[in-house]
Structure 1
């Protein structure tokens, strides 16, 4: 696990190239406190900070092939590196290290861009090919590792974290004028967009081939997309359970490969219980588990402790308070790089700091909700609404076009549903921030509501991919956007903020391929529960009730925001120089705040997202370049 950064800037002297790279790497020491490595030539820089996990003494980077014509800086882990090393050695390649990094240079030699078909892992890397005079920059299938880039005026730069790019004097800080509205509505931005007009996120499952002689010719290309279009063949429950059990055993075993201690991040929910149970099979004497809670009846600690006793792990617990939250929100904003409206980032950061005192790698349960339909309440509600709207669309030729600027009414909502595509309606149902309930929209002006309506249709065209049924389409949208750009960003950046590696065995490529063979009815049967087949799989190992509710470090934001944190939050949102008030109507925001305090609006997560945006604007977006 590392952080990487670099650039192509023709004409830049070698000494200035090295100095600029050093400034970039200084921003991500937390990602790799164990060492650094660079390759510098006039106008070309590749660098990394290393968190040593595999081949502790010999795994430094950059790593080169036999004749030093191909080199790489790499962030992540390749879980099938042992098998790939054996295959490549048999094909005649000579290895100098025992690291998973070296697999990548030889795999590229052997297969060129087809190398991605062979990889099981999480990765972001930059590979220098002097034979073809190009740089190959790539991000893993699901987006577990972030990668940002900028391309302008004949220069190209990339980094694991956006703040690295902001150290370069030629990188524009011009804001994307639509980004705030998209963020405050969906609480994260879809790729390739960031809050900066000229800085982009490389989408999950994509790569950039960058010709060194003409970087402007680089265009992102997909090497993989998750597809649920083929007819499923594991249609009976018992065979699906058996296949899933075997695949999970293999995935967890490979995710445990490390030359340092490995633990499990444990909540009281299904996903982390699954990971812990399978991991315990492979480490029966030494498994350590970690959890955080917030006191009260909803705390994760009691359920996690029960699981720890059941599997016999050495368990560690930390209770957090509103003071802890207040003292850490600036760190959260800084490590996130761009605001992501998931308050569980706080819990993940603190549990990783706890775990770092004992282990260097953590296994976590991210990914199963998008593969096995874990958001059952949301999905069931969306499916019911989309089914009713399908009937309404038959009436569309007889109904007038709705006016997005008109005052909300039942008639306007019905007309809008009749004339809205299923894809656009699905995205509107995924709105998690403002304007909230469409019957009583809050916080946004009529002009912003019109713009949001237009953005919803634009995103629907860009993001939706036809699948075999409606639930499958919802799952792939969540996987491409929410999982890659919210949940996995939070997981990566908070764990890296604590200098610990977070691995996700449920999000293995083989597990995803197996999930694609299982029909929607075995993921989310009528009435629920979600992750039906996964629940049955775990029930063979632990005392697992089939109706266990979804959990995941629930932060008590309403209690804190109406109590001890009310003052700091209100001061931040309504300050004269408030970043949010540069975009929102102050009267409408105040009305939404009053509704929240009275209990008329459940807007705690939206308010957290606005607070995070305030701090991000001050600490990252508006700071001068080095």
Structure 2
């Protein structure tokens, strides 16, 4: 787990050093850069290393292999030992015990097809000396970030946008379209970024860049089976055994490291399963970590402790209060680089901060909800699906009636069921449906390429929304949140349920294996119950959230009213300050929960204040 950087643009050594220092938190163990001459030009590769596998300096990057290629790599290849054996049999010689060297040999052996052989989370760029080209890729599900600037023969890339941003005021402009997308969706969807000229390499894609011509080619190498071609034909019991087998292997692979490893344990199904399988995969006592909030309804730590006690782990509970929360908010822009609206990033950062004191790698339960239909909103889809079977006039009458009701939640429901289809209704729950506070027209929700995963008839609605969330919410939100939160404290997060074998297997299963009646994540739970008593989980599902609703009206009220006063709101492009202030007042008097809006604007205001100087907005 590291930070990578590279450029064909000429910068001074001090400028390169500054670019690497800007994201040194991603890899504090070793910072280095090297320049390579080709024709009459120069390439620079840089790297911030967080040493996880083969701690010896011989595995430092930028890494040269056989004088044929140079590489900078961020992430982990979990099956590198198996792949190394296969490549050794083909005559490749290895001088390290790192996965970096294995990527190099795999590239020389298989070319771009090397990606089919890698099981891991990664973003890397190879400089192929003979071909005079870059070959780069991002993992299948977008766990590791990759940003790039491209303008002919000017090419610059990095793990985080801030490294490219430095010394580039003349090249970059802040995107009004990105701000509009952020205000609508809470994030900036791939491949866009907050700057017009910087793009994200999409998950499951690779690129080639010809250094002589400046030609850039971007192609997809992996995708989920959204057409429903592959179907599991065995019994439910057979599927349960197969899932457990794959999950055990995924966990075991991710426990391998030359540094201490632990597990994030929320007490929910997903993280409890990972913790249970981890304890069965090693003779060492597993360290587990959870967050505790004092506010009623937000403290899940008691359930995490029950699981930890049953599994006999070395459990650590981290307490969070608003004072520490506000400190993390103030530093948020430094680590997240772009406006980002998921407030659970704060407890994620807190969890990472304290976990790092004990381990350098932590396994998480991310991706269980998307793959196995676990979110509350999927149960909501079940109700909506029935509502959309009603005659249209009756449904529209119900929507109109709800819209005039006094309670804001009823108004929201009325707005949702007013949509033309259940697909549109689901989509409207993911972006901001209100636009009366926008100066510009709201983002057209129908312009995303990823909508193809939702708008088709090859699968039922539950499978479609699950596919859509894997390609959007999981990638754009969850993976971004976890990567930045953990790397802020030089902690590597690994997610066994994001193993592409599990994702592909889940996509092949019949829906009722995952969601039967009201039983969500059915098959995942049944694997878990083999290891942890079912009674511990006999409770409503809880999300990983902070009590911002209460804090914004009490402990953080002055902070909110100061940060989002009329003057500061007037500096945010695209919004109507008077309308926003009305909405903030609704939150303060308790008539409408505006937590999302308040957090969203605090983060945007903070980013513009700390990053907007010197850049024009277009």
Q: Which residue of 2 aligns with 1:101?
A: 100
Q: Which residue of 1 aligns with 2:544?
A: 553
Q: Which residue of 1 aligns with 2:248?
A: 249
Tell me by how many angstroms 1:257 deviates.
0.7
| Unpaired runs of at least 5, structure 1 | 397-408, 436-440
**CA 1:413 to 1:508, structure 2 compared with 1: closer, same or farther past 3 Å?**
closer
**CA 1:63 to 1:36, structure 2 compared with 1: closer, same or farther past 3 Å?**
same
Tell me the secondary structure at the aligned position of residue 5 of structure 2.
strand
Tell me the secondary structure at the aligned position of residue 141 of structure 2.
coil
- Kindly indicate whether the alpha-carbon contact (under 8 Å) linking 2:416 and 2:425 is maintained by their aligned counterparts in 1: no
Q: Which residue of 2 aligns with 1:382?
A: 381
Matches within 5 A, 1:96-495: 96-169=95-168, 172-215=171-214, 217-228=215-226, 229-234=228-233, 236-297=235-296, 298-375=298-375, 377-386=376-385, 388-389=387-388, 417-418=419-420, 423-431=423-431, 434-435=432-433, 441=434, 443-445=436-438, 448=440, 451-452=441-442, 455-459=444-448, 464=453, 466=456, 467-495=458-486
**CA 1:301 to 1:413, structure 2 compared with 1: closer, same or farther past 3 Å?**
closer
Tell me the secondary structure at the aligned position of residue 137 of structure 1.
strand
1:499-520 Cα distance to aligned partner (Å, 9 max, x none): 1111101111121122122111
CA RMSD of aligned residues (A): 2.8
Q: How far apart, in 1, do the equivalents of 2:170 and 2:308 lie?
A: 48
Tell me the secondary structure at the aligned position of residue 568 of structure 2.
coil
Bigger mean CA offset, 342-351 vs 170-179: 170-179
Q: How far apart, in 1, do the equivalents of 2:556 and 2:415 lie?
A: 36
Q: How far apart, in 1, do the equivalents of 2:460 and 2:425 lie?
A: 16
Q: Which residue of 2 aligns with 1:538?
A: 528
Q: How far apart, in 2, do the equivalents of 1:74 and 1:309 lie?
A: 38
Tell me by how many angstroms 1:305 deviates.
1.4
Tell me by how many angstroms 1:425 deviates.
4.4
**CA 1:258 to 1:538, structure 2 compared with 1: closer, same or farther past 3 Å?**
same
Q: Which residue of 2 aligns with 1:403?
A: none
Q: Which residue of 2 aligns with 1:85?
A: 84
1:169-226 Cα distance to aligned partner (Å, 9 max, x none): 36633122222222122211210011211111111111121111122x2132111111
Tell me by how many angstroms 1:395 deviates.
12
Q: How far apart, in 1, do the equivalents of 2:613 and 2:464 lie?
A: 38
**CA 1:603 to 1:548, structure 2 compared with 1: closer, same or farther past 3 Å?**
same
1:74-95 Cα distance to aligned partner (Å, 9 max, x none): 0000000000000000011111
Q: Which residue of 1 aligns with 2:73?
A: 74
Tell me the secondary structure at the aligned position of residue 445 of structure 2.
helix
**CA 1:394 to 1:188, structure 2 compared with 1: closer, same or farther past 3 Å?**
same
Q: How far apart, in 2, do the equivalents of 1:488 and 1:134 lie?
A: 29
Residue number among 32, 35, 42 corresponding to 1:37 in the alignment: 32
Q: Which residue of 2 aligns with 1:21?
A: 16
Tell me by how many angstroms 1:598 deviates.
2.6
- Kindly indicate whether the alpha-carbon contact (under 8 Å) linking 1:27 and 1:164 is maintained by their aligned counterparts in 2: yes
Residue number among 594, 599, 603 corresponding to 1:612 in the alignment: 603
- Kindly indicate whether the alpha-carbon contact (under 8 Å) linking 1:291 and 1:301 is maintained by their aligned counterparts in 2: yes
Q: How far apart, in 1, do the equivalents of 2:571 and 2:381 lie?
A: 30
**CA 1:59 to 1:7, structure 2 compared with 1: closer, same or farther past 3 Å?**
same
Q: TM-score, normalised by structure 2?
A: 0.90
Tell me the secondary structure at the aligned position of residue 610 of structure 1.
helix
- Kindly indicate whether the alpha-carbon contact (under 8 Å) linking 2:437 and 2:576 is maintained by their aligned counterparts in 1: yes
**CA 1:126 to 1:294, structure 2 compared with 1: closer, same or farther past 3 Å?**
same
Tell me by how many angstroms 1:442 deviates.
6.5
**CA 1:463 to 1:161, structure 2 compared with 1: closer, same or farther past 3 Å?**
farther
- Kindly indicate whether the alpha-carbon contact (under 8 Å) linking 1:292 and 1:318 is maintained by their aligned counterparts in 2: yes
Is residue 570 from structure 1 mapped to residue 565 from structure 2 by the alignment? no
1:23-78 Cα distance to aligned partner (Å, 9 max, x none): 22111111111002322034311111100000001321122222x11121100000
**CA 1:161 to 1:414, structure 2 compared with 1: closer, same or farther past 3 Å?**
closer
1:571-604 Cα distance to aligned partner (Å, 9 max, x none): 1112413366432112211221122123232221
**CA 1:171 to 1:162, structure 2 compared with 1: closer, same or farther past 3 Å?**
farther
Q: How far apart, in 1, do the equivalents of 2:24 and 2:272 lie?
A: 32
1:305-340 Cα distance to aligned partner (Å, 9 max, x none): 111111111111121111111112121221011122
- Kindly indicate whether the alpha-carbon contact (under 8 Å) linking 1:17 and 1:45 is maintained by their aligned counterparts in 2: no
Q: How far apart, in 2, do the equivalents of 1:351 and 1:97 lie?
A: 33
1:129-172 Cα distance to aligned partner (Å, 9 max, x none): 11111111211111110111111253111100010011143663
- Kindly indicate whether the alpha-carbon contact (under 8 Å) linking 2:450 and 2:471 is maintained by their aligned counterparts in 1: no
Tell me the secondary structure at the aligned position of residue 43 of structure 1.
strand
Bigger mean CA offset, 581-590 vs 75-84: 581-590
Tell me the secondary structure at the aligned position of residue 263 of structure 2.
strand
- Kindly indicate whether the alpha-carbon contact (under 8 Å) linking 1:165 and 1:171 is maintained by their aligned counterparts in 2: no
Aligned residues: 594
**CA 1:45 to 1:457, structure 2 compared with 1: closer, same or farther past 3 Å?**
same
Is residue 516 from structure 1 mapped to residue 516 from structure 2 by the alignment? no
Tell me by how many angstroms 1:17 deviates.
5.1
